Copies of this chain bind each other. A is one copy, B any other.
């Protein structure tokens, strides 16, 4: 492993000692109080808390507590509507198009996915879209909702522009994630949750905090030139990096996500989406959800048994020389391990995030309850 930020983990259990950890209840109480000051009722705020903590639990700390202050401020500024409800624009037996009316994605997107799952349970499959939404947390949560119902699931969302198209000098696509999950026999779903950029922005932030260079192929500077200095990164490269290493495929995948979540959903496409730091207009994000019954195709017990066999076989793959100490894992293994550790030890929240939450509590007039 080279001495770059690629070695810097996001998983909570890898955090250096001294990162404060909290019970889900402590964090939920704070989230509900903060969102309450932005006009959100306790019940929807509790859903939002669960969605945010799903990210921190799984070690994706860029999408959890770190996002709270932004949501609260945007909602208080009138850029997210706390009272918005999900409505149906277009519905057929196995499809549904929703409008989130600029409500919080964290609250309304789970409702959309729940309805998608219910329709898939009835019809074998359902494809759902959501327009006029905001950030919905980690895409993996939605795919996992399907797997927890014994269904296969996918989730995608677009996001504000950060990723350059191949050969381009300006960001045009969001990190536009793809999540996919299926049940297995072991009880731990197989879950893939990935941005279609080489890395999510959170990896750049981790490298900045650690003061480590990043590998080539992750980011570009203000002049769209490759850089290994995370402080100089202004745009991300698509998965695959430049053209030589087939970054046009990552670009293509990002565009596919955008077609589902932008033009199909009737939302903005990435280039039109407002950044979370934009204080003047709503985000205009779209989401896509897919759920399907395993037993519409195959006996679920056979499916589960095959999945277990594949997973065991992949994990047993011999490790290549030069990677001693590593092992072959399957997508979702690092997040599942983080979840196990954080369940035992508590959910870690970085000091920088806590500092921001303390400032937020002063700003909005709620007690700061996260002192340790």
Binding site for B on A (CB under 8 A): 1-2, 4, 6, 89-90, 92-95, 97, 123-127, 129, 152, 164-170, 172, 178, 180, 182, 190, 192, 194, 198-199, 215-218, 220, 223-225, 239-241, 243-246, 248-253, 255-256, 258-259, 262-266, 269, 271, 292-294, 296-298, 302-303, 306-307, 310, 313-314, 317-323, 326-331
Contact = CB atoms under 8 A, between A and B. Distances in A.
Q: How many copies does the complex hold?
A: 2
16 contacts: A1-B244, A90-B296, A93-B124, A97-B297, A152-B264, A167-B320, A167-B323, A169-B318, A170-B317, A172-B314, A178-B253, A198-B246, A216-B245, A217-B241, A239-B250, A264-B297
A307 to B, nearest CB: 6
B6 A243 contact: yes
A297 B239 CA distance: 29
Contacts of A170: 317-318
Given A93-B93, A164-B320, A298-B264, A194 B225 contact: no
Contacts of A215: 244-245
B167 A266 contact: no
A231 to B, nearest CB: 19
A169 B317 contact: yes
Nearest to A5: B244
Nearest to A322: B225
Contacts of A318: 168-170
Contact of A294 (B126, B264, B306, B323): B264
Given A239-B240, A239-B250, A310 B97 contact: no
Nearest to A295: B90
Contacts of A1: 244
Contacts of A328: 165-168
A43 to B, nearest CB: 29
